[in-house]
Structure 1
Amino acid sequence: MMRRRTTLLTSCTALALALGATACGGGPVSAGGGDKALDGQTVTVAGVWSGSEQKNFQKVLDAFTEKTGAKTQFVSTGDNVSTVVGSKIEGGNAPDVVMVPQVGVLDQFAKKGWLEPLSPTARATITADYAPVWKKYGSVGGTLYGLYFKAAHKSTVWYSPAALAQAGVKPPKTYDAMLKAGHTVSDSGLAAFAVAGQDGWTLTDWFENIYLSQAGPEKYDALAAHKLKWTDPSVVEALTTLGKLFKDKQLIAGGQKEALNTDFPGSVEKVFGPGPEAGMVYEGDFVAGVAHDQFGKAIGKDANFFPFPAVGGGTAPVVSGGDAAVVLKDGKNAKAGMKLLEYLATPEAAAVWAKAGGFLSPNKKLDLSSYGDDVSRATAKSLVSAGDSVRFDMSDQAPAAFGGTKGAGEWKLLQDFLRDPSDPKGTAAQLESAAAKAYQD
C-alpha cells in the first residue's frame, strides 16, 4: 500500500511539473491547462513518423499545447534519423526533442554528447510507472536519456480467422504446431504465410523471436551486445529452424522468389487484401493498422493475432521495439523540450494516441480502457505484463551499419539466407564478419 501511495504521488508530481500546474492537491487542472507556464514558447520535435502516425502524434502535441501554452512544430526526418539530426545540429538548427526509433541511435547520440539527461521528474515517473527494462534501454553509461513513449509488440502472428476456420485449425501454441497448422492451411488452398522478404528488417524480426525463445534471454542479450559471436551454435540452431520455414514452398506464398519481391505492406495485402494468397503474416502489432486502414478489415473479426509461439521447449518470446523521446542540448528551447518529455511520461499523454489507434504504451499506469478495441487492449496487456522479460529488437540495438541499413549487414544476409537457406553455418559466419566490422567501427 505504501508503494502504491508513493507511486501515485510520484505520478501526480510528474504530471504537475510537466504541465506547469498544480495538478494534485491544488485543485483540478482545467482543459485550458493551469497557468500556461510555457505560453509563447515553441518546442520543435523531430521523428520518423509520417501519415497517420504523424497525425496521431500531433494530437498528443496539441494536448501538450492546450495544457502548457507551448506551441509545437513536428519535423519528419524519414528513416535516417541520425544523419538528418546530425546535419541539423551542424547547421545550428537542432530540434529540441527527437523521437529516436533505435537503441543503437540513442546510444550514438549520447556518446556524441548531444543529449540532455532526463530531469528528476521524468526519471521518477519512469522508475515508478515503467518496467525497469525500459529504463535500461533508455540509458547509456548509467545515465537515463530516453523516454519510451511509443512501443511495438513484435511477437504477434496475424491471421485471417476465415482462412483458419476454412482449414479447421486453431491458433497454435508452439512453433512446430504453427508449421503443422500452416501445412493444413496450405492443403485447404492458401499458402500459410506471406513473408515480406523485400524488407530485410522483417527477416531480422523472424530470427529474433526464434532466437529469444530457443536460446533464452541471456544469450539474446549477449548476442545483441556482440559479447557472443554470431558463429555460436545457438545462432546456427536458430537459423536452421528459420530455414525450415524458408525452404518449404507450401508455407510461403509464391515461394522464396516472390517473398523476396514482397514488401511489408504487400505481405499484409496477401492475407487481408482482395483475393488473399495466404492465411497468416508474421509482424508486429502495427499489422492491424494496415489491415484496417488500407483493406477495411474489422480488427478482432476479420483480422486477429496469436502470440508468436514458443520454439523448441523455450518460453514464448516477447520482442519489442519503440520510439524514445530525447532532448538535444543544442536545441533552442531544451528546457521546454524537457517539459514535453515530462508530459509524454504521463498516462494522460499516452491515452490521447491510444484512443486514436495504432499505438501501444509501455506505461503501466495507462488504463487499458484507453485503447479503442479489444485487440489493441490484448496486445498492450501482453506487452506490459511481460515486464522485464521483454527484449528490445536486436537489430535496433546494433550499429546501423549492421542492423539497420538496406542492402547491407544483417538485412542483406538474411535476405540471402531466404534465397538459399541451405547453409546456416555459412550464413552465421557471414553475419559474424559483418557484425565484427560494424561494432569495431
Structure 2
Amino acid sequence: MIRRRFTTACCSALTLTLALGATACGGDPVSAAGGGKSLAGQTVTVAGVWSGTEQKNFQKVLDAFTEKTGAQTRFVSTGDNVSTVVGSKIEGGNAPDVVMVPQVGVLQQFARQKWLAPLSTAAQKSVESHYAPVWKSYGSVDGTLYGLYFKASNKSTVWYAPDALDQAGVQPAKSFQEMLTTGRAVADSGVSAFAVAGEDGWTLTDWFENVYLSQAGPQKYDELAQHRIKWTDPSVVDALKTLGTLFSEDKLLAGGRNGALATDFPGSVEKVFGPKPEAGMVYEGDFVAGVAEGEFNRKVGEQAKFFPFPAVGGGAAPVVSGGDAAVVLKDGKNQQGAMALLEFLATPEAAAVWAAQGGFLSPNKALDPAAYRNDTLRATAKSLIEAGDSVRFDMSDQAPAAFGGTKGAGEWKILQDFLRDPSNPTATAEALETAAAKAYGAANQG
C-alpha cells in the first residue's frame, strides 16, 4: 500500500474511471490458460490503483502482452478504494477480468467473498519455481493460490544526501543505535538528521514495522499482523520505546516533532533532496528514489543514496515489503484472456518491461538484475530477493482498513499521537489494542 499511498500523496487529482486501450501489435501468440488458442480479437480489462507514471509504465507491460498474444487490454484506474470500486462493478455486471490488488487484506476479502478464480496450473508452477514461498503464502487464502505478486517494494531503505553525512564525518549506520549516533552528528553539523513524514500516518506504521520486525522477530511479527497476540504485548511496548528514542529528540527531526507532524511524504523527501535541504536522511521505501530523481533532479546513486534499515538490538536487519497482486475475477467476461495475462505477468519477460522504466521491483527471482535501470535499483531488488522467506509484508496492509489504513483513525492516528508525545509507550500500546480489537472483531463478523 505504500506505493498506493505515495500516488495519493503526489497526485491530487486521481481519475477514478480512466480507461486506456492498447492496440494489438501482432507477434507470436501464446497459449491462453487451458485454451491453446491465439487471443487475437479478445480484450482483457484490468483494474488497479495506478495512475500517472505508474499507469503509463504498467501499460507498457500490457502492450507487451498484446504484442505476444494479440489480445487488446483496457486499464481502469480505481483510485485508492479498490474494494469499493470493484464491488460496485461486480454488482453492476461490469466486473473487470483482472484486478491488481495492493493489500493482502483486500485479496483475502475478495477470496472469502468468492469473487476470485484460483491461478492456473501454469501460473502456479511459475510462482513455485521463481518466487520465495512467502509470496505464495501472501497470495493464498485457505490453501488456494489466488494472487500473483507482480510488483513489490522494498520498504526497508534509509535514503540520505551524501554531502550531509560527509560534512558530519559519519558513514551509513549498521545498527539502530548507530543510526541515532550518526543522526546526532548530522544534527550537530548544521541540518537535522531525519525528515519524518508524520502528516501521513502510513509512514509511521512503516517506521514501527521495521523496528518491530528486527527487534521482535518474524514469528512475533506474523502473530501481531494476524492479531494472534495483543498490541499490549511487551514486544510492542519495547518497539515503541525504541522508536521513541528517535521521536523524543527534537533536534533529530526536521522542524522537531511539530514540524514532522506537518510534513507529508513528498515534503519529507524535499527536506533532504530539495533545493533547500533541512535534513540529511529520510526513511521510506525504494520509491523515495523516484521522487528525488523526478522532482528534484538528484542523481540516484550519487546525490541520493540509501542504506538498509539497520538491525535493532540483537535482531536481524528487517526487510519489509509491499506489493500488488494480480487476481482473476470469476465474474469477468474473459477468463481465458485473464489467466493468460497472469501467466505472462509471472514471467521475467513481463517484469523486465517495467524494470527498465524505474519505480519498480519484482519478487521474481528469475528476473535478470541487469534489467533494472541503475545500480541503486539493482541493490534494492537484490536485498528484497536475498531476504527470501524472511521478507514480511507491510503489517498495516494486512490489517482491516479501519485499523491499518484509514486517515485520522486507528494505527495511523495513534502513531501520530505517539510522535507528538512519545513519553508513554504503554498507553500507546493500549490505545492500539483497543482500536485493533474493534477493527478485527468487525472484520471477522463480516
**Structure 2 residue ranges without an equivalent (≥5):** 1-24, 31-36
Letter in 2 for 1:140: V
Q: How does 1:71-90 map to 2 (within 5 A)?
A: 71-90=72-91
Residue of structure 2 equivalent to 1:314: 315
Distance 1:413 1:71 in 2: 46
Residue of structure 2 equivalent to 1:280: 281
Is 1:359 the counterpart of 2:354 in the alignment?
no
Q: How does 1:21-32 map to 2 (within 5 A)?
A: 32=27
Per-residue CA deviation, residues 383-416 of structure 1 (Å, 9 max, x unaligned), is 0011001011100111111111111111111111
Distance 1:162 1:97 in 2: 45
Letter in 1 for 2:439: A
Per-residue CA deviation, residues 367-393 of structure 1 (Å, 9 max, x unaligned), is 000001000000001100110010111
Residue of structure 2 equivalent to 1:251: 252
Is 1:151 the counterpart of 2:146 in the alignment?
no
Residue of structure 1 equivalent to 2:10: none
Distance 2:26 2:294 in 1: 31
Q: How does 1:178-217 map to 2 (within 5 A)?
A: 178-217=179-218
Deviation at 1:357, TM superposition (A): 0.7
Segments of 4+ in structure 1 off by > 6 A? Answer: none
Distance 1:343 1:403 in 2: 32
Q: How does 1:205-354 map to 2 (within 5 A)?
A: 205-354=206-355
Residue of structure 1 equivalent to 2:424: 423
Residue of structure 2 equivalent to 1:33: 28
Distance 2:79 2:249 in 1: 35
Letter in 2 for 1:225: Q
When the two structures are aligned, how many residues end up with a matched partner? 412
Letter in 2 for 1:51: G
Deviation at 1:31, TM superposition (A): 7.8
Letter in 2 for 1:438: A
Letter in 2 for 1:33: D
Letter in 2 for 1:265: P
- SS class of match (2:324): strand
- SS class of match (2:253): coil
Distance 1:31 1:314 in 2: 52
Per-residue CA deviation, residues 279-337 of structure 1 (Å, 9 max, x unaligned), is 00000000000100111111000000000000011110010000000011111112211
Per-residue CA deviation, residues 329-363 of structure 1 (Å, 9 max, x unaligned), is 11111221111000000000000000111100000
Distance 1:370 1:389 in 2: 24
Deviation at 1:80, TM superposition (A): 1.3
Distance 1:44 1:381 in 2: 32
Letter in 1 for 2:134: V
- SS class of match (1:40): coil
Residue of structure 2 equivalent to 1:173: 174
Distance 2:382 2:436 in 1: 34
TM-score, length basis structure 2: 0.91
- SS class of match (1:386): helix
- SS class of match (1:243): helix
Letter in 2 for 1:317: P
- SS class of match (2:296): coil
Distance 1:200 1:95 in 2: 31
Residue of structure 2 equivalent to 1:164: 165
- SS class of match (2:298): coil
How large is the Cα RMSD of the aligned pairs?
1.1
Per-residue CA deviation, residues 74-96 of structure 1 (Å, 9 max, x unaligned), is 11111111111111111111111
Deviation at 1:33, TM superposition (A): 2.2
